[in-house]
Structure 1
């Protein structure tokens, strides 16, 4: 297996609101798409937004799951000040701050926000880790 992740799909209750959050609020580049799915082309991968019931049906599982799903998404940036800027940008776009940025015991600096559907995003500066292109 080639160790890449091509698309991360998030189940969202209100597609239009989620698109507005990611496209207008966070400035992610939206790809032309039709119907009940939206795609955003990122550096090296894609982000997809899809209604949770349709996503569960596609997978073949019960959509009634709740609580912490054991998954977070991470966005690494190039400095502590940028962590604070991105967290503020997300909050202005409608995100809920879950954990303010703090110095982490692993040597970096990070905080968490939840998008309007509760998907958890970490924004981090990790001095010894440089992912992506």
Structure 2
């Protein structure tokens, strides 16, 4: 059985801030009809053909998940990973994210498992950018 697209939903504090970050910082394209604020509702980005990222304001996210609480900023339950072709690509994405307001948690460096860097988006969600090896 396959599912396409898979949608990852994340809670956010501010739609315009998150929209700018994912559009400008990661270069992702939005899908959907524009709401009154000029931002698609729901706010979804295409990561690739099989994956979308949906950003939901924290209050709405709490409604969706029911009895569960949204994790406080600084408490991460997952790391979202982006695989890229080369260390130079990893460096470029981390720098682009930094310029768009990301907090770089771990500068890109060579690790035993590959070349990786980690940044937090404006809501503290962690993203790891990795390449297989230095070239």
More strand by share: 2
Where do 5+ consecutive residues of structure 1 fail to align? 128-133
- State the Cα RMSD in Å: 2.0
Give the structure 1 partner of residue 13 of structure 2.
Answer: 13
2:90 is aligned with 1:100: no
Per-residue CA distance 1:45-78 (angstroms, 9 max, x = gap) = 1111101221121111343532423201001100
Whole-Å Cα distance in 2 between the matches of residues 65 and 88 of structure 1? 27
Where do 5+ consecutive residues of structure 2 fail to align? 36-40
TM-score, normalisation: structure 2: 0.83
Whole-Å Cα distance in 1 between the matches of residues 28 and 71 of structure 2? 28
Q: Is the 8 A contact 2:21 2:101 kept in 1?
A: yes
How far 1:23 sits from its partner (Å)? 1.3
Give the structure 1 partner of residue 120 of structure 2.
Answer: 114
Residues 11 and 64 of structure 1, relative CA distance in 2, 3 Å threshold:
closer
Q: Is the 8 A contact 2:76 2:125 kept in 1?
A: no
Give the structure 2 partner of residue 63 of structure 1.
Answer: 69
Give the structure 2 partner of residue 27 of structure 1.
Answer: 27
Quick one: which of 24, 38, 45 aligns to 2:43?
Answer: 38
Whole-Å Cα distance in 2 between the matches of residues 65 and 24 of structure 1? 26
Per-residue CA distance 1:85-126 (angstroms, 9 max, x = gap) = 1110110111110001111122x1001000000000000002
Q: Is the 8 A contact 1:33 1:39 kept in 2?
A: no
Q: Is the 8 A contact 2:76 2:126 kept in 1?
A: no
Whole-Å Cα distance in 1 between the matches of residues 108 and 117 of structure 2? 4
